[in-house]
Amino acid sequence: MNILAIGDIVGDAGTEMFLSNIDELKRQYAVDFCIVNGENACTGNGISRKKAEQLLEGGADVLTMGNHTFRQKEAAGLLAHNERIIRPLNYPAGTPGRGAYVYNAGGVRIGVVNLLGRIYMDYLDCPFQAVDKALESLKADLIFVDFHAEATSEKISMGWYLDGRVTAMFGTHTHVQTADAWVLPKGTGYITDLGMTGPIYSCLGVKKEITLERFKTCIPQRFEFADGKSRLCGALFCVDEATGKTLEVKSICLM
């Protein structure tokens, strides 16, 4: 089977880039299931009901989130009621929503788990302990983990921790695609970061003039997403549903 994972959709430009390319991508790579990180889909970050509908109806099978999960007011209600939108599993007990989702694709159970890193991020529960617990109870033939984290070291360590235990782990959050898509020795597909799906002439999706001003003056600025020409970043995992392992990983970057 071919599973496509797409990195952080940034604002309207990123949404439009996803919607206008996903059908062709699915055809080209015979995609069976599509995971999309939607934590920056709204202006001002986070996810809204409208954006979730656009992405889910437009071609995403499940939306993962990250540190911006609850940025929009309606997110808590949305996540509590829609099992196809998941938030990091390692939020404290009682947080609205779920950290994992299992989809039945013609008899093959595809599990998706979302985790948040702790280095330079909000200090949530330990993602390593959280994923251990999830793997004990998750009934799935294939398991994909979106590890939303800042530090490459934490993501690489998680990759080694999960090698042979999940089908694939991909990182999100940094918005810059890494050139390390490969299959770990025990059969887990891996990439440190998928990169973003959003405006090219920007700083990680934000108007470059604003971030530049922030760095030059050290005065906080109100961030606004850039618009215009976008790139779409992600990775395609070719997997063996009989063994639950990844056979091949291909990074994808469309402009």
Nearer to Fe ion, 76 or 102 (CB): 76
CA 193-109-246 angle, 5° bins = 45
For residue 253, the minimal CB distance to Fe ion (Å) is 16
At a CB cut-off of 8 Å and minimum separation 6, what does 96 contact?
A: 76, 77, 79, 80, 87
Catalytic hit among 68, 148, 173, 175: 68
For residue 181, the minimal CB distance to Fe ion (Å) is 19
Nearer to Fe ion, 67 or 177 (CB): 67
For residue 196, the minimal CB distance to Fe ion (Å) is 7
CA dihedral 68, 69, 70, 73 (to 10 degrees): 100
Residue type, 8: D
Number of H helices, E strands in the chain: 6, 13
Phi and psi at residue 175, in whole multiples of 5°?
70, 10
Nearer to Fe ion, 175 or 245 (CB): 175
Nearest to residue 36, comparing CAs of 58, 8, 70?
Answer: 8
Give the residues lining the site for Fe ion (CB under 5 A). 8, 40, 66-67, 173
For residue 109, the minimal CB distance to Fe ion (Å) is 28
Nearer to Fe ion, 117 or 159 (CB): 117
81 is catalytic: no
CA–CA separation, 199 and 12 (whole Å): 9
CA–CA separation, 217 and 160 (whole Å): 40
Nearer to Fe ion, 14 or 189 (CB): 14
Count how many Cα atoms sit within 13 Å of the Cα of residue 225 in the half-sphere of its side chain: 25
CA–CA separation, 125 and 123 (whole Å): 7
For residue 241, the minimal CB distance to Fe ion (Å) is 30
CA–CA separation, 252 and 4 (whole Å): 9
**Active site residues per annotation:** 68
